[in-house]
Amino acid sequence: MHIRLNAAALVLCISSCGLALADIQQRADANLLDRCPGYKIDHFGKVKHGFDATLELAGAPCNVYGKDILSLILSVRFDTKDRLHVHIRDSAGKQYQIPHSVIPLDIGSGVSESSSNLKFSYFHDPKTGFGFEVHRGTDVIFDTTGHPLIFEDQYLEITSSLPRNANIYGIGESPDYFRRDSSNTTKTLWNRDAADPFRENVYGSHSVYMELRQGLFHGAYLHNSHGMDIVLANDTIQYRVLGGTADFYFFAGTSALAVIDQYTELVGRPNQIPYWSLGFHNCRYGYKSVYEVNEVIANYSSANIPLEVAWTDIDYMDKTRDFTFDLVNFPLSEMQKQLQTLHERKQKMVLIIDPAILHSSSYPTYVRGHDLDVFIKNADGTEYIGQVWPGYTVFPDWFAPNTDKWWHGELQQCFDQLQIDGMWIDMNEASSFCTGSCGSGKPDDEIPPYPWLLESVEPPHRKINTTDKYLVPPYAIHNPLPEISDKTIETTAVHANGIIEYHVHNLYGYMESRTTRDFLLRHRPNERPFLLSRSTFSGSGALANHWTGDNAATWQDLHLSIASVFDFGIFGIPMVGADICGFNGNTTEELCARWIELGAFYPFSRDHNAIGMVPQELYRWDSVAEASRRALNVRYSLLPYFYTMYQHSVELGWPVARPLVFEFPGIPAVIDNDRQMLIGDGILVSPVLQKGAVSVDAFFPSGRWYDWYTFVEITGSSSNITLSAPLEHVNVHIRGGKIIATQPPALTTAEAREHDFSLLVATDYHGTASGELFVDDGQTLSSDHRWVQFEYADQALRIDHRSEGSFAIQQRISRIVLLGVPDIGMVFVNNIPAVSKISSKNGSIVICDLKIDINNATTISFL
């Protein structure tokens, strides 16, 4: 006998027996799902660059989580030689699909099957019906054998076999260790305002994953905006999706960087950042006034700690309303003075904006939006009203025809008053403090208290409407709240195109990023925008950058931040970082010191903490200040290298921060290493992640590695080496075989960019090394640029250029360090003896006082 509990009964069971609603439901319905007949294939035929077919239900409908769709269309297209598109959709076209106008996927030029590195085959199993396989050579990288396709109006299920103990990376956003546990992992994709709970769904939705098999990577992506669970268990990966279509893309790899290249070619390459954004940023939720922020800026300078960007959270607003300034604590005139001072010192300002708009006829922003009909509606046509910081709020409908015009107009009025340098969009999952349209019918001037500040116990959750299949879907994804509408816009809310929130919830932050970036591009047509967004979706990296949200000041979150940064490298959002020293909770001196030693190497490096917590600006403790100076000096020295690696992101999608497994996939010991971080392919950071530790066990792949500070060589043997790590020190090593361009550090990126270059030539066991440098103006979208290439062999360093690029580099190479080269006597530049100063240090040679022009091909010989 099979019993199906209704949702209300399941919620009651959760509270009494501690079980997850989706887990109970899964157990109750497992046998019914096993009886689903699958589909039979019909009318299979070749078309240009692929195949088309129809699929018909092969037996009696299951109707387990909705109504089985009887007829489907299968389309298979070889988009590129390394990308295969397999799309299964309903014949009637009623299932929601993400429009190309929302996310403009690259369709590829199309290739023949014989030209593709991926092959498609299908089969019919007598028990489970239609299935398909995707092959790369002799390896089957996706295989639905033995698992029926389930395609219902509110539930899709597609299952592929995996090897035992598969190496799976990606799928999120969800704080977790980098290598997913393939025996017991459920990743829920439903954007949610949640303070980084371990292994739960948080702010973004990314269904792309990579798998490593026998030293080779491949990948897959499901293009679908509905809520879903992606389950790794029983040697399978299973997609359980609340609607839409099975729109899959497969990537041949074979390296990790190749998979990311192929994925970002599809969804969009990362945006081109301004150079200044690579500097160090400071923020806090809870600054009491503009004057306090001025003191913070001054204190960083006094402590000789770099500060590039001063951020202000919602504190600057008048009663937390967008596009306003607190007349007393953050008066516009004082904010203008602050901005002017920052710009005089070559520093920048970024402010926060939330999407929720106060529902009040006395608030001009709301009135203008209401008049233009730009807000999400209830089913009865009234405005949907939730609760966020200002009180009862409405939410912009990014599908409405006038929303861009209205949003741009509000931003323009703000920028006309204060020409900030970048924008931070937050709370855009979208977040709401109540469930449903809780402000409907409330007086215009009523300001509700925040739920967590109520003296009495919070009111009971509303009665769950189990009769509405969009409020309570028949299948319950593992979103750990009674309803998927909790803490966000209700799933039955209606957008201007008639689509309900249920179908497009996960796109909200993406669409806000799109229209906000459009404004920034129109406002400053040739200037690179800087935009930071909390909520993201596939393709968001082309629009915005990301931080990992409201983490905690704990040692575990310090560790997990590395994996989160790696995840977003896969997701195509390389400009990412975690709140340094932790957002929630009180940090400690030791934790903050260790965090900046790691956070100094996040691509996006920002200190940020919550209201009511102990202040944690980097100058607050002597040891943290010293650790900050040391670590940030390394970062600022490496800015040319960071920027070069980021240009690879722009052109190829490659992440800046990388796990060792990306560079050394053949070494089993690194498949789950998320305790160290490579910057590009040449710099290895080995931070302390444990309380009280004064050493770190660092893994070094075979080869030569050189200590950043001392130039002492470490011989890597693909094993751990214990390194000394006193409180104020972070271990950084240069990989043998790489040439790293640096500049002397400074307190701002503008000052650092004025200095001459140094080259760290880290030789491998063959006495060779190579590297490159990308240079442009760091600001405009139309900048000339120059790629400089370095090659060292046979005691000669050759400087050359790619054929493209004409940017005139003013700075010279004034210093060269030959790591692993014990002795030289003279230096020749293009066969002419060079005036230089030569010294030795720990088995390496330091050559100073050079004046080498890198705009021209040059050969430097060392004899």
Same domain, 65 and 173: yes
Give the end of a domain, one of 667, 702, 733. Answer: 733
Q: Which of the following is catalytic: 550, 567, 579, 776?
A: 550
Token reading at 411: 């931003």
In a domain, 663, yes or no: yes
CA distances from 509 to 267, 534, 579, 598, 848 (A): 16, 8, 20, 28, 50
Quick: pLDDT tens for 443-452: 988 999 999 8
Query: What's the confidence (pLDDT) of residue 4?
Result: 30
Same domain, 681 and 827: no
Token reading at 156: 């899709």
Give the end of a domain, one of 267, 283, 316. Answer: 267
Q: Would the pLDDT of 808 be above 70?
A: yes
Token reading at 194: 């949640």
Q: Would the pLDDT of 807 be above 50?
A: yes
Quick: pLDDT tens for 347-397: 999 999 999 999 999 999 999 999 999 999 999 999 999 999 999 999 999
Query: What's the confidence (pLDDT) of residue 459?
Result: 72
- Report yes or no: 279 and 749 within 8 Å, Cβ to Cβ: yes
**Beta-bridge mates of residue 847:** 816, 838
Q: Would the pLDDT of 32 be above 80?
A: no
Q: Report H helices in 322-452.
A: 332-344, 364-371, 403-417
Q: Would the pLDDT of 19 be above 80?
A: no
Beta strands in 608-717 (DSSP E): 657-658, 677-679, 683-686, 695-700, 703-707, 713-716
Supply the CATH number for residue 663's domain.
2.60.40.1180
| DSSP codes joined into one string, 765-778 | TTS-EEEEEEEE-S
In a domain, 191, yes or no: yes
Q: Would the pLDDT of 55 be above 80?
A: yes
Beta strands in 110-190 (DSSP E): 119-125, 129-136, 139-143, 150-152, 155-161, 167-172, 179-180, 185-189
Same domain, 718 and 777: no
Query: What's the confidence (pLDDT) of residue 249?
Result: 99
Same domain, 680 and 826: no
Number of domain units in the chain = 3
- Report yes or no: 573 and 601 within 8 Å, Cβ to Cβ: no
Q: Which of the following is catalytic: 211, 247, 429, 713?
A: 429
Same domain, 647 and 744: no
Same domain, 94 and 206: yes
Distance separating alpha carbons of residues 26 and 6, to the nearest angstrom: 13
Residues contacting residue 856 through CB under 8 Å, at least 6 positions apart: 799
Confidence bin at 12 (pLDDT 50/70/90): very low
In a domain, 276, yes or no: no
Distance separating alpha carbons of residues 510 and 531, to the nearest angstrom: 12
486 belongs to the catalytic site: no
Residue from 236, 239, 245 nearest 75 by CA: 245
In a domain, 618, yes or no: no
What single DSSP character describes residue 585? S
Query: What's the confidence (pLDDT) of residue 419?
Result: 98
Q: What is the dihedral of CA 751, 757, 762, 767, to 10 degrees?
A: 170
Q: What percent of the chain has pLDDT over 90?
A: 93
Q: What percent of the chain has pLDDT over 70?
A: 96
Quick: pLDDT tens for 239-279: 999 999 999 999 999 999 999 999 999 999 999 999 999 99
Quick: pLDDT tens for 96-114: 999 999 999 999 999 999 9
Confidence bin at 455 (pLDDT 50/70/90): confident
Distance separating alpha carbons of residues 679 and 658, to the nearest angstrom: 6
Q: Which of the following is catalytic: 176, 326, 383, 426?
A: 426
Token reading at 766: 């063959």
| DSSP codes joined into one string, 35-76 | T---EEEEEEEEETTEEEEEEEE-SS---SSSPBPSEEEEEE
229 belongs to the catalytic site: no
Query: What's the confidence (pLDDT) of residue 30?
Result: 63
429 belongs to the catalytic site: yes
Same domain, 729 and 743: no
Same domain, 697 and 833: no
Token reading at 778: 């760091």
Residues contacting residue 437 through CB under 8 Å, at least 6 positions apart: 378, 382, 384, 385, 386, 490, 493
Distance separating alpha carbons of residues 762 and 760, to the nearest angstrom: 6
Confidence bin at 6 (pLDDT 50/70/90): very low
In a domain, 147, yes or no: yes
Distance separating alpha carbons of residues 590 and 571, to the nearest angstrom: 32
Number of CB atoms found within 10 A of residue 756's CB: 15
Distance separating alpha carbons of residues 508 and 755, to the nearest angstrom: 43
Quick: pLDDT tens for 194-223: 999 999 999 999 999 999 999 999 999 999
| DSSP codes joined into one string, 454-511 | -SSPPPPPPPP-TT-TTTS-SS--S-SSSSTTTTS--TT-B-TTS-BHHHHGGGHHHH
Query: What's the confidence (pLDDT) of residue 802?
Result: 81
In 3-state terms, what secondary structure has residue 847?
strand
**What mean pLDDT comes out for the span 667-693?**
98
Q: Which amino acid type is present at position 23? A: D
- Report yes or no: 856 and 850 within 8 Å, Cβ to Cβ: no
The backbone region for 627, taken as left when phi is positive above 0, alpha when psi lies in -120 to 50, beta otherwise, is alpha
Give the end of a domain, one of 252, 267, 282. Answer: 267
Cis peptide before 430 (omega within 30 of 0): yes
In a domain, 437, yes or no: no
Residue from 36, 271, 269 nearest 146 by CA: 36
- For 468, phi then psi, to 5°, come to -100, 110
- Report yes or no: 508 and 502 within 8 Å, Cβ to Cβ: no
In 3-state terms, what secondary structure has residue 739?
strand
Domain of residue 223 covers 35-267
- For 791, phi then psi, to 5°, come to -135, 130
Q: How many helices (H) and strands (E) does the chain have?
A: 15, 48
**What mean pLDDT comes out for the span 585-614?**
98
**Beta-bridge mates of residue 152:** 68, 155
Supply the CATH number for residue 227's domain.
2.60.40.1760
Distance separating alpha carbons of residues 530 and 434, to the nearest angstrom: 31
Same domain, 849 and 726: no
**What mean pLDDT comes out for the span 513-535?**
98
Query: What's the confidence (pLDDT) of residue 34?
Result: 79
Positive or negative: CA dihedral 363, 365, 370, 371: positive
Q: To the nearest whole number, what is the mean pLDDT of the chain?
A: 95
Distance separating alpha carbons of residues 363 and 340, to the nearest angstrom: 29
Q: Taking the model in full, what pTM does it have?
A: 0.96
In a domain, 287, yes or no: no
In a domain, 609, yes or no: no
Lowest-confidence region among 145-159, 485-499, 526-540, 796-810:
796-810
Query: What's the confidence (pLDDT) of residue 28?
Result: 52
833, containing H or E segment: strand 832-833
**CA atoms within 13 A of residue 667's CA, in its CB half-sphere:** 20
Q: Would the pLDDT of 66 be above 50?
A: yes
Distance separating alpha carbons of residues 193 and 196, to the nearest angstrom: 9
Opening angle at CA 604, ends 599 and 607, nearest 5:
55
**What mean pLDDT comes out for the span 490-508?**
98
Distance separating alpha carbons of residues 339 and 343, to the nearest angstrom: 6
Higher pLDDT, 5 or 546: 546
What is the three-state SS of 251-289?
A: ECCCCHHHHHHHHHHHHCCCCCCCHHHHCEEECCCCCCC
Same domain, 727 and 768: no
- For 300, phi then psi, to 5°, come to -60, -45
CA distances from 262 to 89, 416, 625, 681 (A): 23, 41, 42, 19
Residue with tokens 């030209």: 115
Same domain, 50 and 175: yes
Query: What's the confidence (pLDDT) of residue 23?
Result: 61
799, containing H or E segment: strand 796-805
Token reading at 57: 């239900």
- Report yes or no: 231 and 248 within 8 Å, Cβ to Cβ: no
The backbone region for 129, taken as left when phi is positive above 0, alpha when psi lies in -120 to 50, beta otherwise, is left
Query: What's the confidence (pLDDT) of residue 31?
Result: 66
**Beta-bridge mates of residue 54:** 42, 73
For the packed helices 589-599 and 555-570, what is the interaxial angle rounded to 10 degrees? 20
Largest CA distance in the chain: 91
Confidence bin at 17 (pLDDT 50/70/90): very low
Same domain, 704 and 794: no
**What mean pLDDT comes out for the span 42-69?**
95
CA distances from 595 to 220, 307, 547, 846 (A): 33, 17, 15, 32
Distance separating alpha carbons of residues 647 and 811, to the nearest angstrom: 20
Q: Would the pLDDT of 456 be above 80?
A: no
Quick: pLDDT tens for 215-243: 999 999 999 999 999 999 999 999 999 99
Distance separating alpha carbons of residues 798 and 564, to the nearest angstrom: 38
